């Protein structure tokens, strides 16, 4: 039975990955951050099958101790601040956790479990204001916010530890991926949850920024499969993962509200305070390498994703626990 360590198991990606790995027969060790209030609701249904631990990406000795204790065969580093916009409010902290935290973890891997296979969660935010559309593994990086800059440091440290020390260390450059487990501070979940509230008479309007901003949106449950596939390859390589198709925030709203029998134009208000400079970036994945080498393709389409999310929010808002 191989052992997988998932840092950030409480999050959207970590929980889907844990389910996937358990189904593959793995022993799954889930790592959550210390001194931060986290919810285990995403893994509640599989909690009894997990081994849980906690730590701090700023604690090098603690990371070494964790690896020495559990001796994982595969390590999935999904633990870091996840909001590009909010990273402007905590630039030093984001750099210390997402950037230097990855370096500490890689060094701990080198010392304690050098034969483990390591996955680093990179992001399309590495491309920032892209020099070409779509973007592939050879597109120059041009991050535009502290989150992207920190992820760039983590990405290059992963590459250099692979090249210098021979670690099996890869980065998955993932584009936006959503699900019913997405945090409420992300625009997709904000839309589906508020649409469900409006349907139930619990809200009257939804205020958003630029409705014409476009994103390459996929389903998180598909993307975690790519993470696993990267660690099963004969050689360690980095991959861009995305659908290659963009949709606007307006289209997302239209689908979410229409699934509930509503017209989004009656409830959505465009508010300039939510406009962001980054909304003009054309981040679109060219995932041909993943298709050719991993055989990876997204299975859940955009319309199905939106429908899945809004129906989930409608269910939780009408459940006895919510009322």
As a whole number of angstroms, the distance between CA 93 and CA 78 comes to 16
Least Cα distance to 254 among 272, 268, 241, 240 occurs for 268
As a whole number of angstroms, the distance between CA 278 and CA 282 comes to 9
As a whole number of angstroms, the distance between CA 68 and CA 71 comes to 5
As a whole number of angstroms, the distance between CA 54 and CA 69 comes to 13
Q: Which of 15, 123, 150, 171 is catalytic?
A: 123
CB 297 within 8 A of CB 244: no
As a whole number of angstroms, the distance between CA 175 and CA 123 comes to 6
Q: Which of 125, 161, 171, 254 is catalytic?
A: 125
Pairing mode, strands 3-7 and 74-77 = parallel
Identify whether 125 is a catalytic site residue: yes
Identify whether 54 is a catalytic site residue: no
Reduced to 3 states, what is the DSSP secondary structure of residue 71?
coil
Contacts of 189 (CB under 8 A, 6+ apart): 178, 182, 183, 309, 313
Identify whether 123 is a catalytic site residue: yes
Q: Which of 26, 147, 161, 175 is catalytic?
A: 147
Contacts of 23 (CB under 8 A, 6+ apart): none
Q: Strand (E) positions, 127-285? A: 168-174, 177-178, 206-208, 214-215, 218-219, 239-241, 247-248, 268-270
Q: Active-site positions?
A: 123, 125, 147
């Amino acid at each position: 039975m191989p052992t997988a360590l998932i840092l950030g198991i409480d999050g959207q990606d970590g929980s889907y990955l844990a389910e996937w790995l358990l189904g593959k027969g793995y022993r799954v060790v889930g790592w959550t951050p210390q001194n931060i209030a986290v919810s285990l609701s995403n893994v509640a249904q599989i909690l009894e099958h997990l081994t849980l631990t906690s730590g701090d990406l700023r604690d090098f000795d603690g990371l070494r101790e964790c690896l020495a204790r559990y001796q994982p065969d595969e390590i999935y580093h999904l633990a870091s601040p996840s909001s590009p916009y909010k990273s402007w409010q905590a630039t030093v902290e984001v750099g210390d956790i997402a950037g230097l935290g990855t370096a500490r973890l890689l060094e701990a891997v080198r010392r304690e479990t050098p034969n483990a296979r390591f996955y680093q969660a990179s992001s399309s935010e590495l491309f920032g204001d892209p020099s070409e559309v779509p973007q592939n593994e050879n597109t120059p990086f041009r991050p535009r916010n502290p989150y992207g800059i920190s992820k760039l440091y983590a990405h290059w440290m992963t590459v250099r530890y692979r090249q210098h020390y021979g670690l099996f260390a890869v980065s998955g450059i993932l584009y936006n991926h959503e699900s019913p487990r997405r945090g409420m501070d992300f625009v997709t979940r904000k839309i589906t949850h508020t649409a469900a509230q409006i349907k139930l008479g619990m809200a009257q309007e939804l205020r958003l920024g630029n409705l014409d901003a476009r994103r390459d949106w996929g389903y998180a449950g598909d993307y975690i499969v790519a993470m696993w596939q990267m660690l099963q390859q004969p050689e360690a390589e980095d991959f861009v993962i995305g659908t290659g198709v963009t949709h606007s925030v307006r289209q997302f709203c239209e689908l979410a509200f229409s699934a509930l029998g509503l017209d989004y134009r009656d409830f959505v208000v465009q508010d300039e305070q939510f406009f962001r400079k980054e909304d003009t970036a054309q981040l679109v994945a060219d995932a041909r390498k993943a298709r050719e080498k991993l055989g990876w393709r997204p299975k859940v389409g955009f319309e199905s994703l939106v429908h899945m999310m809004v129906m989930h929010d409608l269910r939780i808002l009408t459940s006895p626990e919510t009322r």
